[in-house]
Amino acid sequence: MSANHEDHHHAPDGHGRALRLGIGGPVGSGKTALVAALCRSLGPSLRLGVVTNDIYTTEDADFLRRAGVIDADRILAVQTGCCPHTAIRDDIAANIDAVETLEERFGPLDLVIVESGGDNLTATFSRGLADRQIFVLDVSGGDKVPRKGGPGVTAADLLVVNKTDLAPMVGADLTVMSRDAAKVRDGKPVLFTSIREDKGAHSVAEWVVGIVDTWQHQHAHTV
């Protein structure tokens, strides 16, 4: 490892940089809606940046810009060449580049959210890219999904089960989902939300504030 000053972003201890939060999950589970909700809730108190990994073009980034929840310049889109999970796990170069570009342009930042392209249950973020990660499921995928596990469900720092308002309509039993998730997640937290009803996803936002606080205490610049 060179001692070059430009390389401080790669410092494994994370000193002097924002917390990088990955948000992953299957297509349509509400990742972009969650990012928008977090921007709404956290924007007033935290300095934010967002990187989207769209499957097609810049649709998610455009959605966020239109939603007006965050300054449009603070959203960067990364193309993933048909392989959304490659871009967050095996070859994170373009995402790191986008994160660092945001930090260079707008830094210092408190939190950079990296939203993955919609993928399957095995897609998780590399630790080289995300310090913490949220995996988003929705109830309409069926209440068996948590039981089936998969790296996203089991390993994420927070599991969010979205669209709880639809549970009665799709016959999903939230108690079953909660019990199964607790079993495979070894005590790591699970939150149930309906972002359609709670535009700020407040329980998730609260969790994020907690991890940002912890991160900043642990990684404060010591000169």
Residue 107 lies near other proteins (rule: CB under 8 A): no
Residue 188 lies near other proteins (rule: CB under 8 A): no
Residue 175 lies near other proteins (rule: CB under 8 A): no
- Nearest residue to 64 via CA among 53, 83, 16: 53
30 annotated as ligand-binding: yes
- Tell me which amino acid residue 71 is: D
Peptide bond into 146 cis (omega under 30): no
CB closer to other proteins, 90 vs 186: 90
State the Cα–Cα distance between residues 24 and 32, nearest whole angstrom. Answer: 10
Stretch of residues binding other proteins (CB under 8 A), selected from 28-36, 50-58, 158-166, 202-210:
50-58
Classify 36 in phi/psi space as left (phi over 0), alpha (psi -120 to 50) or beta. Answer: alpha
117 annotated as ligand-binding: no
Q: Which of 4, 5, 186, 197 binds other proteins (CB under 8 A)?
A: 4
Binding-residue pattern over the window 77 to 96 for other proteins, x denoting contact by CB under 8 A: -xxxxxx--xx--xxxxx-x
Binding-residue pattern over the window 9 to 28 for other proteins, x denoting contact by CB under 8 A: -x------------------
Classify 78 in phi/psi space as left (phi over 0), alpha (psi -120 to 50) or beta. Answer: beta
Residue 104 lies near other proteins (rule: CB under 8 A): no
CB closer to other proteins, 82 vs 223: 82
Q: Which residues make Cβ contacts (< 8 Å) with residue 205, sequence separation at least 6?
A: 37, 38, 41, 42
Residue 55 lies near other proteins (rule: CB under 8 A): yes
Contact assessment for residue 125 and residue 31, using Cβ atoms and an 8 Å cutoff: no
Binding site, annotated residues:
25-32
Which residues are at the interface with other proteins (CB under 8 A)? 1-2, 4, 6-7, 10, 55-57, 78-83, 86-87, 90-94, 96-97
Binding site, annotated residues for GTP:
25-32
